[in-house]
Amino acid sequence: MNVAKIAVASGKGGTGKSTVAANLGYSLAQERDVVLVDCDVEEPNLHLFFQDGRSESPVTTPVPVIDTSACTFCGRCAEQCRYGALLVLENDIRFFRELCHSCGGCSLVCPTGAVREEMEAVGRVWESRPFPHLRLISGVLDVGEIHSTRVIQAAKQAAEPAGLIIYDAPPGTACPVVETMEDSDFCLLVTESTPFGLHDLELAAAVAKKLCVPAGVVINRSDGDDAETMAVCSRHDLPVLLRIPFDRKIAAWQNRGELFAVHMPQWQGRFTDLYTRIQDIAGGSR
């Protein structure tokens, strides 16, 4: 089976996830249809590499609305809410919208049917087609919202059905990263040879392992001396699949918000080879 979904993660922010995802997506789109999905919904930035008009659709989530005329203020809804989103007073009830995780538990436990759910917007999904074979989908979480996984799900849904999908994961290893990696066939871990970079690489690798997603590493901004990174990778059985050197020309294109693979075509071949190696590692195993 072909590897159809690749998550690009790193653990640490600023390592070059979006750079790798964008250049990989662009390179592969020279030969086939590719969908790039920006799952870093709190700070989506993949679109900065591309110029194209985009369409927008809202992402909604259910939140409770309480009919105080039917409510007996028994307090069961607040009791079951793990997030403190409901406060039941003697004859009033307060709802803290920003604490609500949309689990729907309050409406399930209410004995008088006083809680109904209404859909409210928590973010948006942008969609564009910057190149003939490349679709770009970005999840954008509204400021102050907590429902990042809801927006990630919506962005992932918008990408389907597609032959090859590349997810640009958020930094860190919390729920949004798990949500992004979860149904991926392969996880590409981008790292840099710094103590923080390597530490966070190990955390991200542990998440991929826990989710049973095969993983490999891209070393970004490599200064040529990668012994320490190699040691970490071999300790965790992570193959190093590509090295992107610390190169002024690459940095210059990057600074202009451009894809270096567009201007340095030899890299298109390297990213295509990277995909071939991913196929070799994960293609037969799932």
Partner 1 sequence: MDAPVEERFGRSPYLILIDTDTGTETSIQNPGADAAGGVGPRTVQLLVNHGVKAVVTGQVGGNAASALQAAGIDAYQYRAGGTVRDALALYRAGKLTRLL
Residue 163 class from Cβ within 10 Å (0-12 exposed, 13-18 middle, 19+ buried)?
Answer: exposed
Number of residues that bind partner 1 (CB under 8 A): 17
Strands 115-131 and 55-66: antiparallel
Quick one: how many helices (H) and strands (E) in the chain? 10, 11
Figure out which of the listed residues 31, 67, 92, 237 binds partner 1, where binding follows CB under 8 A. Answer: 92
Q: Does 96 bind partner 1 (CB under 8 A)?
A: yes
Distance CA 209, CA 89 (A): 46
User: Least CB distance from residue 184 to partner 1, whole Å?
Assistant: 25
Interface with partner 1 in residues 54-73 (CB under 8 A):
none
Q: Which is nearer to partner 1, 39 or 88 (CB)?
A: 88
Dihedrals φ, ψ of 73, to 5°? 55, 40
- Which of these segments, 18-26, 38-46, 47-55, 96-104, binds partner 1 (CB under 8 A)? 96-104
Q: Which is nearer to partner 1, 55 or 91 (CB)?
A: 91
Q: Measuring CA to CA, how many Å separate 175 from each of 7, 14, 153, 182?
A: 14, 19, 12, 10
Q: Does 97 bind partner 1 (CB under 8 A)?
A: no
Upstream peptide bond of 161 is cis (omega within 30 degrees of 0): yes
User: Least CB distance from residue 39 to partner 1, whole Å?
Assistant: 21
Q: Which is nearer to partner 1, 90 or 225 (CB)?
A: 90
Question: Which residues of this chain interact with partner 1, rule CB under 8 A?
Answer: 75, 78, 81-90, 92, 94, 96, 98-99
